Amino acid sequence: MTENSPKSLDPRTLAKLKGLQLRAKHIVEGYVAGLHRSPFRGFSIEFAEHREYTPGDDLRYVDWKVFGRTDKIHLKQYEDETNLVCYLVLDSSESMQYQGPDSPLSKFEYAQCLAAAIAWLVLQQQDSVGLVTFDQILRSNLRPSSRASHLQQILQVLDSTTPVSKTSLGPIFHELAERFTKRGVVIVLSDFLDDVDSLLAGLKHFQHRRHDVVLFHIMDPAELEFPFTQPTLFQGMESLPDLLTDPKSLRKAYLEELQQFTSQIRAGCRRQGMDYRQCPTDHAFDLILANYLSQRSVKVT
């Protein structure tokens, strides 16, 4: 990682760059400079280590010799992944359009950048990456591919997507779980502003399909801190009603509600073994990525 990479990867700096490709390049180059090893592991011929069997694992990789010695079922893992499939699932509902008063990027722009960067990273490792955007319905669906030119398609779809409508996460996730036939890593980038139970049920469906699920919870700092002091008319997005109130008197109660919401999601993810990462839109991308990917490296090793 270069000395100035944190600065260059700061969303405020990145916001000055025009074009998603340029932004993604910035992010990836800044990050890759410090990256030595891919955290995304697949299944290949070069043996790397054993892993305890979990239901749903492919029995082809069971190490029977170990089973014979220990009566425990272990799978053989291999050093290099050649068939990793990464599904980028991007929420493009209206709420993602929110950009707080002090935020450099809207939640959607932040998610765009993050998605582009991840796609770039995955493709650089010759793995496959796909992209799905949705609100109430699926808006676009790029099948996973490991071709270098696939990045352009992904960036184009990302660029052309505009968040306008309500969201409906649960049904969408159920639908996607059915569509993602090849086992892989499902990376969801969303503000998850929907019914928590429905959301977790949908995510569980991915888990059921033996996908590795990663949630990037995109939040605007204003949503996290509710810094408003003047009487404000809050105009609801996604067809929700307006509310004129004194924000200071409501701040504590709002934060409690938000905390309860995020806690439910965190708890749900923890129960289902999914990775959850909250991404405030004023946080540097490389920090988000580095933090997440390093943790993932620990997990997979």
Binding site for another protein (CB under 8 A): 94-98, 101, 107, 191, 193, 220, 223, 228-238, 240-241, 243-246, 248-254, 256-258, 261
| Residue with smaller CB distance to another protein, 49 or 195 | 195
d(CA 126, CA 116): 15
Q: Closer to another protein at the Cβ: 80 or 225?
A: 225
- Give the three-class secondary structure for 143: strand
| N residues, the chain | 301
Residue 238 beta carbon to another protein: minimum distance, rounded to whole angstroms: 8
Tokens describing residue 88: 């980028």
Toward another protein, which CB reaches closer, 35 or 96? 96
Nearer to another protein, 27 or 188 (CB): 188
Identify whether the C-beta of residue 204 lies closer than 8 Å to the C-beta of residue 215.
no
Cβ(278)–Cβ(219) below 8 Å: yes
Burial of residue 116 (CB within 10 Å: 0-12, 13-18, 19+) is buried
Q: Are 99 and 244 a contacting pair, CB within 8 Å?
A: no
Work out how close the CB of 228 gets to another protein at its nearest, in angstroms, rounded to a whole number. Answer: 7
User: Least distance to another protein from the beta carbon of 47, Å?
Assistant: 48
- State the minimum distance, in angstroms, from the CB of residue 110 to another protein: 13
Closest separation in Å from C-beta 32 to another protein: 32
Q: Which is nearer to another protein, 107 or 296 (CB)?
A: 107
- Give bridge partners of residue 68 from the DSSP assignment: none
Neighbours of 153 (CB within 10 A): 15
CB of 137 to another protein, least distance (A): 20
What's the rounded Cα separation, in Å, for the pair 122 and 245? 46
Cβ proximity to another protein, 147 vs 248, nearer residue: 248
